[in-house]
Amino acid sequence: MRFELIDAVLDRSDDRIVAVKLVSAAEEYLQDHFPDFPVLPGVFMLEAMVQAARLLESPEGGSRLAIGGVRALKYGRFVRPGETLRVEVDRTGGDGENLMFRGVAKVIGAGLSLDEAHTAATGQFTLRPLLARVCPPSSVR
């Protein structure tokens, strides 16, 4: 199952991308997380940062980058239906194969401005190329 966690890219440069996700009460994953207090799952905040990083690396989509590691991931505020998750991701380096990023996700409440946003999540993560496994043909007769 794949969830699209980027609705729009607001800004992009060579090493930075800013994108948003409008969290709707109709989102399938909110039905169980949690029924009486629906919030965007924390792992989806990380996934939104990862999806933004993939768009930074491949604006047309189709990026085959997998999470290689996550460090210093911290959560601040809940993100509720009707609020906007603003994701800011910077490429901080790489070692030839792995790409390193720092991300900040901010929650903007309905009717509030960016100046009134609160940090929902911050962290550092590494993306690496997804390698396809080549398996020998089956010798079943």
Its pTM stands at: 0.90
Q: How far apart are CA 89 and CA 6, in angstroms?
A: 12
pLDDT for 139 equals 57
pLDDT tens per residue, range 61-87: 777 899 999 999 999 999 999 999 999
Active-site entry in 12, 33, 77, 80? 33
- Architecture category of domain 8-129 in CATH: Roll (3.10)
Q: How far apart are CA 54 and CA 56, in angstroms?
A: 5
Active site residue 118: no
DSSP conformation class of 44: H
Radius of gyration of the chain (CA): 17
Q: Are 19 and 87 in contact (CB under 8 A)?
A: yes
pLDDT tens per residue, range 72-125: 999 999 999 999 999 999 999 998 889 999 999 999 998 999 999 999 999 999
pLDDT band at 136 (very low <50, low <70, confident <90, very high): low
Q: Are 21 and 44 in contact (CB under 8 A)?
A: no
